[in-house]
């Protein structure tokens, strides 16, 4: 039964069954045609013999009318045959003849006993029949019935030879078909073995290994390509995961070190209340940073595993952006925030979104502009007619070398400065994941000294 679980054996068994069925059909047809042919030959021999001897054993028929055509078929070759000659001739050919007429029953050759017991009845048309291993022809003349027959032994012996030949040819074709099928199937399935071997190697830890199939059939080549692409993604995911874990532990180590160092220093000797207050404040700042980072990490993990539940509703984008600008403008008095809406349609711009999260995205971007730019920097939030949200500032900007990386996790242009301000370099990663979770995009353009611009597009409802 194990064979049925293997593709190779299933294919081979099906092929063998089909081949055997086709061969059996063809061989049966051929066998029957041969048998029909031999029987027809025997019938012709019986008829010819009967026609030849009939003038000698049957009374002449009524003379044909002058206008009717002569019946050439029954012209005897030797009408003058004697009874003994007929006996000898029929015996030598293994043919028997029984005639029942006014002169009674007459037998020629070795007539089977069963036939003598049942005197044949007259027939309107000549009849051919197979009976007890004999082929017979019954022919009636006025007041006379003749039965001529011959044993089928010869036909049976010839058919047995034909059958043996057919069985031999059939087995030979079946075996060669099976062998050819085996070679073809084994060759076709060879790439699958290569694929599973490579997959095992990769599972064993060699993540950079890939399936190499140069001469595989199209279907398997595309399977290998798909698998290789999946391995690439997995490899990338594993690398990202490793980097992420390393970065996260590195980032968390700093505030933990601050807490430990401050506490150890404070405990070394008796301190004034003012000094204890300073230590506690430093520990509190470090604790807050850890809390923010832990929350950001949790949020990113949820977004990555699609576990973040977005409660989406269809709402007016203008109102959501205006609300976020109001909240953002409260962050700093020294960074004025302006809102400019070009949306003029009477129906408004409707987007299927989690409005809390979109609010969070816009306030995060305003907070970044406040956090990373000096006092007096202006921030402008615009909403275009097609629902694009643009958050720009005229601050320090981001240089070209940093621009492609700012959405990466833990990436900061000025790490020490950003860390001091409490940033872990996760804000833009979360913003990007949230926009992607809404089916939108976020891009940025910037020139050092000329501010930074973030462009968000969201699919309209």
Q: Which of 413, 437, 445, 455 binds ligand ADP (CB under 6 A)?
A: 413
Tell me the CA end-to-end span of the chain in Å, nearest whole number. 57
Distances from the Cα of 438 to the Cα of 342, 428, 434, angstroms: 22, 15, 7
CB of 3 to ligand ADP, least distance (A): 59
CB of 191 or CB of 425, closer to ligand ADP:
425
20 belongs to the binding site for ligand ADP (CB under 6 A): no
CB of 255 or CB of 425, closer to ligand ADP:
425
Comparing every residue's Cβ against ligand ADP, the nearest one is 423
Q: Which stretch binds ligand ADP (CB under 6 A): 59-67, 121-129, 278-286, 422-430?
A: 422-430
Q: Which stretch binds ligand ADP (CB under 6 A): 36-44, 154-162, 199-207, 426-434?
A: 426-434
- Burial class of residue 296 in the structure, from the number of CB atoms within 10 Å of its CB (0-12 exposed, 13-18 middle, 19+ buried): buried
CB of 98 or CB of 369, closer to ligand ADP:
369
Q: Which stretch binds ligand ADP (CB under 6 A): 61-69, 260-268, 308-316, 370-378?
A: 370-378
Indicate the DSSP class of residue 415.
H
396 belongs to the binding site for ligand ADP (CB under 6 A): yes
CB of 181 or CB of 395, closer to ligand ADP:
395
**CA 459 remoteness from chain centre:** 33
CB of 152 or CB of 456, closer to ligand ADP:
456
Phi, psi angle pair for 361, to nearest 5°: -60, -50
362 belongs to the binding site for ligand ADP (CB under 6 A): no
* CA-wise closest residue to 396 among 423, 414, 421, 420: 414
CB of 419 to ligand ADP, least distance (A): 8
What does the buried/exposed string (b/e) look like for 197-211 if buried means 16 or more CB atoms within 10 Å of the residue's CB?
ebeeebeeeeeeebb
What angle (nearest 5°) sits at the alpha carbon of residue 197, between those of residues 194 and 202? 125
**Rounded-to-integer distance, Cα 265 and Cα 254, Å:** 16
DSSP SS3 for 121: coil
Please give the helix or strand (H or E) that residue 136 lies within, else none.
strand 134-141
Q: x/- string (CB under 6 A) for ligand ADP, residues 315-354?
A: ----------------------------------------
CB of 415 to ligand ADP, least distance (A): 8
**Rounded-to-integer distance, Cα 460 and Cα 387, Å:** 7
Q: Which of 332, 368, 382, 432 binds ligand ADP (CB under 6 A)?
A: 368
In the complex, the residues that contact ligand ADP under the rule CB under 6 A are 368-369, 371-373, 393, 395-396, 398, 406, 411-414, 418, 423-428, 452
């Amino acid at each position: 039964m194990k064979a049925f679980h293997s593709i190779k054996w299933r294919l081979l068994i099906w092929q063998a069954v089909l081949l055997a069925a086709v061969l059996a059909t063809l061989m049966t047809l051929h066998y029957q045609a041969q048998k029909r042919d031999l029987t027809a030959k025997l019938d012709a021999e019986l008829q010819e013999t009967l026609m030849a001897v009939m003038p000698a054993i049957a009374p002449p028929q009524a003379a044909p009318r002058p206008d009717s055509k002569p019946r050439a078929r029954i012209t005897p070759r030797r009408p003058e045959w004697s009874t003994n000659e007929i006996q000898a001739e029929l015996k030598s050919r293994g043919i028997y003849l029984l005639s029942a007429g006014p002169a009674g029953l007459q037998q020629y050759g070795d007539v089977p006993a069963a036939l003598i017991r049942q005197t044949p009845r007259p027939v309107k048309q000549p009849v051919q029949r197979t009976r007890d291993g004999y082929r017979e022809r019954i022919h009636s003349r006025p007041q006379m019935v003749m039965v001529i027959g011959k044993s089928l032994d010869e036909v049976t012996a010839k058919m047995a030879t034909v059958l043996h030949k057919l069985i031999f040819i059939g087995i030979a074709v079946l075996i060669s078909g099976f062998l050819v099928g085996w070679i073809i199937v084994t060759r076709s399935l060879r790439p699958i073995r290569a694929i599973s071997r490579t997959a095992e190697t990769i599972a064993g830890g060699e993540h950079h290994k890939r399936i190499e199939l140069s001469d595989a059939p199209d279907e398997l080549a595309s399977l290998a390509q798909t698998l290789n692409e999946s391995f690439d993604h997995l490899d990338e995911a594993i690398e990202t995961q490793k980097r992420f874990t390393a970065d996260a532990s590195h980032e968390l180590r700093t505030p933990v070190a601050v807490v430990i160092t401050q506490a150890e220093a404070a405990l070394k000797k008796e301190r004034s209340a003012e000094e204890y207050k300073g230590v506690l404040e430093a520990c509190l700042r470090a604790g807050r940073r850890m809390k923010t980072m832990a929350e950001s990490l949790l949020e990113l993990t949820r977004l990555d595993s699609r576990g973040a539940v977005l409660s989406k509703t269809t709402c007016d984008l203008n109102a959501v952006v205006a609300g976020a600008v109001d909240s953002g403008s409260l962050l700093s008095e020294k960074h004025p925030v302006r809102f400019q809406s070009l949306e003029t349609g009477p129906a408004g711009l409707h987007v299927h979104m989690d409005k809390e999260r979109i609010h969070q995205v816009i306030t995060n971007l305003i907070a970044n502009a406040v956090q990373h730019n000096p006092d007096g920097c202006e921030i402008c939030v615009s909403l275009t007619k097609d629902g694009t949200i643009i958050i720009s500032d005229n601050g320090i900007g981001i240089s070209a070398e940093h621009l492609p990386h700012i959405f990466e996790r833990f990436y900061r242009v000025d790490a020490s400065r950003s860390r001091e301000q409490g940033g872990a370099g996760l804000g833009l990663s979360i913003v990007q994941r949230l926009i992607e979770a809404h089916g939108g995009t976020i891009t940025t353009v910037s020139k050092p000294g000329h501010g930074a611009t973030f462009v968000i597009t969201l699919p309209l409802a």
